[in-house]
Amino acid sequence: MSTLKHLLKLISYQENTDREGFILEETANDRQTAQKSGPSSESQAAPEHGDNKEKAPAGRRSFKKPVRPSGKANDKTKKRKDSGRSGEENPDQESGQANGIKQAEELSVSASLAENREIVGKLYGLPENKDIIVRDIAIGTDPVIEGFAIFIDGLVDKSVQDLLFQALMLFAARPVPPGKGKLASYVKERLLPGNQVSVRTQFRDILDAVNYGDTALFLEGCAEAVLVETKGWEHRGVDRPTVEQVVRGPQEAFSETLRANTALIRKLIKNENLTTEFLQVGARNRVHVAVMYLRDLANPALVAEVKRRINSIKTDHIIDSGVLEEFIQDNPYNLNPTVMATERPDRVAAGIFNGRVAIIVDGSPFVLLVPVTMYEMLHTGEELYSRWQLGTFIRYLRALAFNLSFLLPGLYLSVVLFHHEMIPTELLLAIAGNRERVPFPSIVEVLLMEISFELIREAGLRIPGVIGSTIGIVGALILGQAAVQANIVSPILVILVAVTGLAGFAIPYYSLAFALRIYRFFYISLGAALGFFGIAIGLFTQIILTANLKSFGVPYLAPIGPRTVTGADIVTRLPVFFHKKRPDYLNPQDIKRQPDVSRGWIGHKTGGKDD
């Protein structure tokens, strides 16, 4: 009877209450093998589910994983589950650093000046470390207070420091210092003229500040240090954009200094709601990352997500925004980029005005903008700042270039190899006649030309500027011409590869153009293997994989992929007075950009606003 009941239960309708998902139950076998392998210290801290799944295969393996000095075996599991937490139990992250630094976390400023001097000397490796300057001063109060200032030569602005020391050491009237406890704040409020002054007790903060260019002032008898902002180092000024050039529009570009970059954005967005939040990423090189957004416009969930992802990154150092991009992007295995990097402040400002979030990494002239769709990557400021007809024309041309840049060689191969009937007879006979003399099969010819084109391109980037243009002429003319005359390639192919290359250059965003370059090789192999059917396979796969992509929650091909509200500015650019709404796939807090009638002078004879 019980088996019958069991059978009946199997095939009867039961509400599926399990909303969570799939949980693999631990069998007795798994439990035994898990116990045999012994508990490792880190896996205690591993969270609830999937735990047995990880342990069981470890036990069943015939050999054990080598145990690294700091137990790095758990890194993989940690990284997978760590995206949400800020990770308290990660001792191995800083295992490489010296023990001294470990203690810097816990050290705080002591009241004795000599002890402070000793600690600072140990932390910085004085006296071998010649960059760090320790300047003993005596503050000109009555009585004199001893102290020393510590700063890094090369990172400080000497004139500001001069003023600082002048203010501290030379007084016309000698003020009286207050009691011991309030010395630092007294100095900060009364004596120091620097424009950003803060008081700190932990050595970690002091070290961070001094590493960044501040001057730390230690005073006798004070258990706090005063940090004065004296940043001033050699940097490149605001220059013209090198990668994204437009004919009409502003010609400023970001530089490597974080403050200069935020200032450039602030210059364009003079709004009190523009918020800049600072985050720090990196263990050995705590680089500052600024997140900028409009508080009353950007979706708060988006901002929270951006901050969550950046805060959860645990790595050694981040040099450029490109590295940060790879850490926070949604789908790192897909060829298409999902984060946009730009060096133009006007583009960032336009993005922020639409509700996007800008991420600025100190030391990188490329600012990240999230979220982004593929159509955004194909826009430049050229169309925004010129008239709409020009913009529309350029966009259609660019759409053609986009398609040509990865499809053209594949289509040529499939037509020449499989579908001879598609081209007019005269063209076919011309191609055939030219190919009579070429000793290679078509696909070898195409690959040869493509690879040499890529070589020329890469070489062109690395050549020192003086001989750069000459090599360009050498590469293009001599290689191409000579190859044709030596009957290695047919002239039609030279034109084809040149047009493909040009079409690739017409794509404004470098990462996307690079993705298309790689797609081109896939299409070449598919076209040569299966003709137009192969191209169709490639197209279907590419379209569906790209349509599935998301960039910070926004579908990659919005507003056409999923059909959201029609934008006025995707491919065809409508006149500016039609852009009434922001793109709604970003879910900003305020969707209206301008009212229906944005040109007041149309209806009224005396101007719109005065009536």
Residue (272 or 421) nearer to other proteins, CB: 421
Tell which one of 60, 308, 387, 419 touches other proteins (CB under 8 A): 419
By CB under 8 A, is residue 545 in contact with other proteins?
A: yes
- The C-alpha atoms of residue 403 and residue 409 are separated, in whole angstroms, by 11
Tell which one of 121, 491, 553, 600 touches other proteins (CB under 8 A): 491
- The C-alpha atoms of residue 419 and residue 167 are separated, in whole angstroms, by 84
The span of 52-60, 141-149, 189-197, 434-442 binding other proteins (CB under 8 A) equals 434-442
Tell which one of 59, 221, 363, 531 touches other proteins (CB under 8 A): 531
Count, residues near other proteins per rule CB under 8 A: 69
Expressed in percent and rounded to 5, the helix, strand and coil fractions of the chain are 50, 10, 40
- The C-alpha atoms of residue 48 and residue 97 are separated, in whole angstroms, by 31
Contact 500, 508 (CB under 8 A): no
By CB under 8 A, is residue 544 in contact with other proteins?
A: yes
Instruction: Provide the token pair at 499.
Output: 């047009």
By CB under 8 A, is residue 297 in contact with other proteins?
A: no
- The C-alpha atoms of residue 163 and residue 181 are separated, in whole angstroms, by 26
By CB under 8 A, is residue 418 in contact with other proteins?
A: yes
Q: Is 123 exposed, middle or buried (0-12, 13-18, 19+ CB in 10 A)?
A: buried
Tell which one of 521, 574, 584, 598 touches other proteins (CB under 8 A): 521
Residue (85 or 420) nearer to other proteins, CB: 420
Q: How far is the CB of 23 from other proteins (least distance, A)?
A: 10
By CB under 8 A, is residue 443 in contact with other proteins?
A: yes
Tell which one of 484, 513, 515, 516 touches other proteins (CB under 8 A): 484
Give Cα separations from 128 to 17, 102, 147, 243, 369 (angstroms): 67, 21, 22, 42, 43
Residue (37 or 564) nearer to other proteins, CB: 564
Q: How far is the CB of 417 from other proteins (least distance, A)?
A: 4
Instruction: Provide the token pair at 153.
Output: 């030569």
The span of 7-15, 94-102, 215-223, 577-585 binding other proteins (CB under 8 A) equals 7-15
Tell which one of 2, 44, 62, 485 touches other proteins (CB under 8 A): 485
End-to-end CA distance of the chain: 89
Q: How far is the CB of 593 from other proteins (least distance, A)?
A: 23
By CB under 8 A, is residue 476 in contact with other proteins?
A: no
Tell which one of 339, 535, 554, 570 touches other proteins (CB under 8 A): 535
The span of 89-97, 269-277, 280-288, 417-425 binding other proteins (CB under 8 A) equals 417-425
Contact 345, 252 (CB under 8 A): yes
Q: What is the Cα gyration radius of the chain?
A: 32
| Interface characters, 18-37, with other proteins (x: CB under 8 A) | xx-xx---------------
Give Cα separations from 396 to 37, 109, 392, 573 (angstroms): 63, 64, 6, 10
Q: Is 372 exposed, middle or buried (0-12, 13-18, 19+ CB in 10 A)?
A: buried
Residue (133 or 591) nearer to other proteins, CB: 591
Tell which one of 282, 555, 567, 583 touches other proteins (CB under 8 A): 555
The backbone torsions φ and ψ at residue 312, rounded to the nearest 5 degrees and listed phi first, read -90, 5
CA dihedral of residues 467, 469, 470, 476 (deg, nearest 10): 140
- The C-alpha atoms of residue 436 and residue 428 are separated, in whole angstroms, by 12
CA 610 to chain centre: 46
By CB under 8 A, is residue 557 in contact with other proteins?
A: yes
Tell which one of 98, 536, 565, 597 touches other proteins (CB under 8 A): 536
Instruction: Give the containing element (helix H, strand E) for 583.
Output: none
CA 161 to chain centre: 35
| Interface characters, 319-348, with other proteins (x: CB under 8 A) | --------------x---------------
By CB under 8 A, is residue 548 in contact with other proteins?
A: yes
- The C-alpha atoms of residue 354 and residue 446 are separated, in whole angstroms, by 43
Tell which one of 227, 324, 528, 554 touches other proteins (CB under 8 A): 528
Q: Which residues of this chain interact with other proteins, rule CB under 8 A?
A: 11-14, 16, 18-19, 21-22, 333, 414-422, 424-426, 428-437, 441-443, 484-485, 487, 490-491, 521-522, 524-526, 528-537, 539-541, 543-545, 547-548, 555, 557, 560-563
